[in-house]
């Protein structure tokens, strides 16, 4: 059990942000400060508020919760910080602390958390969505089951039809030993919003291994991010148990992957789970990371120009930038966009909670995508894909947004 008390969380967050020198290095890279310009919206501002909260100089009010909620958890600040202050972790801890003080998470987050927590719910995606709709929460998933989803079939028709057949990629050189037990982690976002892409992921994985598909539960990130820490830990334990027989756990969702890879740190002081969690985290791989390891080659080379958006939880969460780009180069031609690793503004439910700020951030992203002239922007995160699908719509057909599984 997680025995940490509320004030311990605040103290821990306080220790993290204590290292902040208030130098301002994070100001130009914080996407929210970029659109709002007010100190409290920046990483430095939020860290300093957290520090004052821990030091007793600021009262724990609803206003403070609003400030710490207004964070994409994108880690752009952490990446650039000379003292490596983990702003995202501190914000999550302060959210939890304030939520506990207020007597539990906001009803909205509790509902979403409840939906995502139920075992088997990812299988019953439609049912889950109907619950969401009934609860008036469908705004979280703005375009229903497949928000502006562009399927692999669409992709092949448009870009890899007969004219492109001559450029078929060489046969895949993958050799998988029968001993490697590879499992697929079904992410809620992928299953509920991009089932076609998730199916593609499984198809790709099956060309490399005899795939284990488990009825896993949510990775717990939405719970952790919004003050439902106990639920997060309980989900984590279920998943750890479930995947004990697997040697590799592949995720096609950047956020699930990053969360699962970091699980071990949440159990570091729990003797019963420490080793199991560390073993589990050690075998999680992003889809592209796995495909690179097994030498996967795309199923076709299409006459299409791709650009790539780095999900925060892949680039900063897992340090993965090269494998997806290499796969795209093998599947078509590739052009890099400006600020590819800047957050798209999606950030879980951030885009629903703060639609204006999210839209302003996305607008910059759309312009950067359009400047590349690419026909398809590819990414590896359903959260980003929702945002990018909106950008694609706003671009008036200049580009499509797709998950990497759909194009390789």
What residues line the site for other proteins (CB under 8 A)?
18-19, 21-25, 27-28, 37-40, 45, 48-49, 51-52, 55-58, 63-64, 67, 81-85
- Considering the complex, state which of residue 48 and residue 405 has its C-beta at the smaller distance from other proteins: 48
- Considering the complex, state which of residue 306 and residue 354 has its C-beta at the smaller distance from other proteins: 354
Max alpha carbon distance in the chain (Å)? 68
Least distance (Å) between residue 18 CB and other proteins: 7
- Considering the complex, state which of residue 52 and residue 212 has its C-beta at the smaller distance from other proteins: 52
The secondary structure of the chain in percent helix, strand, coil, rounded to multiples of 5, reads 55, 5, 40
Burial label for 80, CB within 10 Å (0-12, 13-18, 19+), is middle
Nearest to 358 by CA among 388, 380, 338, 336: 388
Q: Are 65 and 50 in contact (CB under 8 A)?
A: no
- Considering the complex, state which of residue 19 and residue 274 has its C-beta at the smaller distance from other proteins: 19
State how far the alpha carbon of 156 is from the alpha carbons of 15, 136, 160, 330, 368, in Å.
52, 36, 4, 15, 25
Residue position matching structure tokens 């589990």: 280
Would you state the structure tokens that stand for residue 301, as one six-digit string? 């080379």
Least distance (Å) between residue 58 CB and other proteins: 7
- Considering the complex, state which of residue 56 and residue 171 has its C-beta at the smaller distance from other proteins: 56
Least distance (Å) between residue 22 CB and other proteins: 5
Least distance (Å) between residue 90 CB and other proteins: 14
Q: Are 277 and 336 in contact (CB under 8 A)?
A: no
Least distance (Å) between residue 329 CB and other proteins: 20
- Considering the complex, state which of residue 85 and residue 381 has its C-beta at the smaller distance from other proteins: 85
- Considering the complex, state which of residue 50 and residue 211 has its C-beta at the smaller distance from other proteins: 50
- Considering the complex, state which of residue 91 and residue 228 has its C-beta at the smaller distance from other proteins: 91
Least distance (Å) between residue 83 CB and other proteins: 4
- Considering the complex, state which of residue 27 and residue 174 has its C-beta at the smaller distance from other proteins: 27
Q: Are 209 and 180 in contact (CB under 8 A)?
A: yes
Q: How far is it, in rounded angstroms, from Cα 399 to Cα 26? A: 31
Least distance (Å) between residue 351 CB and other proteins: 22
- Considering the complex, state which of residue 17 and residue 128 has its C-beta at the smaller distance from other proteins: 17
Least distance (Å) between residue 336 CB and other proteins: 15
Nearest to 122 by CA among 235, 42, 254, 25: 235
Q: How far is it, in rounded angstroms, from Cα 277 to Cα 264? A: 5
Q: Buried (b) or exposed (e) across 329-353, using 16+ Cβ within 10 A?
A: ebbbebeebeebbbbbbbbbbbbbb
Q: How far is it, in rounded angstroms, from Cα 399 to Cα 226? A: 33
Least distance (Å) between residue 123 CB and other proteins: 41
How is 111-163 classified by DSSP, letter by letter?
HHHHHHHSTTTTTTHHHHHHHHHHTT-GGGSTTTTSTT---HHHHHHHHSSGG
Least distance (Å) between residue 36 CB and other proteins: 10
Q: Are 342 and 365 in contact (CB under 8 A)?
A: yes
Q: Are 85 and 22 in contact (CB under 8 A)?
A: no
């Amino acid at each position: 059990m997680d025995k940490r008390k509320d004030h311990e969380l605040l103290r821990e967050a306080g220790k993290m942000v204590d290292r902040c020198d208030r130098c301002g290095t994070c100001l130009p890279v914080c996407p929210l400060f970029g659109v709002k310009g007010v100190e409290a919206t920046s990483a430095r501002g939020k860290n300093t508020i957290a520090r004052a909260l821990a030091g007793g100089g600021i009262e724990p009010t609803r206003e403070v919760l609003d400030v710490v909620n207004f964070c994409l958890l994108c880690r752009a600040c952490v990446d650039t910080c000379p003292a490596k202050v983990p702003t995202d972790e501190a914000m999550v801890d302060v959210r939890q602390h304030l939520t506990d003080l207020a007597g539990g998470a906001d009803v909205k987050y509790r509902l979403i958390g409840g939906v995502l927590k139920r075992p088997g719910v990812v299988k019953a995606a439609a049912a889950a969505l109907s619950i969401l709709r009934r609860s008036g929460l469908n705004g979280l998933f703005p375009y229903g089951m497949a928000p502006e989803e562009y399927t692999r079939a669409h992709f092949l028709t448009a870009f890899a039809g007969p004219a492109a057949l001559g450029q078929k990629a060489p046969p895949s050189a993958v050799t998988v030993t029968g001993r490697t037990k590879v499992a697929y982690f079904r992410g809620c976002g992928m299953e509920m919003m991009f089932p076609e892409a998730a199916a593609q992921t499984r198809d790709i994985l099956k060309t490399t291994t005899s795939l284990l598909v488990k009825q896993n539960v949510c990775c717990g990130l939405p719970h952790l991010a919004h003050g439902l820490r106990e639920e997060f830990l309980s989900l984590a334990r279920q998943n750890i148990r479930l995947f004990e027989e697997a040697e590799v756990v592949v995720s096609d969702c950047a956020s699930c992957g990053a969360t699962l890879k970091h699980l071990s740190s949440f159990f570091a002081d729990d003797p019963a789970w420490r080793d199991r969690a560390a073993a589990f985290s050690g075998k999680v791989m992003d889809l592209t990371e796995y495909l690179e390891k097994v030498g996967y080659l795309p199923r076709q080379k299409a006459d299409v120009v791709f650009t790539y958006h780095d999900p925060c939880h892949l680039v900063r969460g897992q340090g993965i930038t090269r494998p997806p780009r290499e796969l795209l180069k093998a599947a078509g031609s590739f052009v890099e966009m400006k600020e590819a690793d800047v957050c798209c503004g999606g950030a879980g439910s951030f885009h629903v909670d703060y639609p204006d700020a999210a839209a302003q951030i996305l607008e910059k992203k759309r312009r950067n995508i359009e400047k590349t002239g690419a026909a398809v922007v590819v990414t590896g995160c359903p959260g980003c894909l929702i945002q990018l699908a909106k950008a694609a719509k706003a671009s008036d057909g200049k580009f499509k947004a797709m998950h990497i599984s759909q194009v390789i």
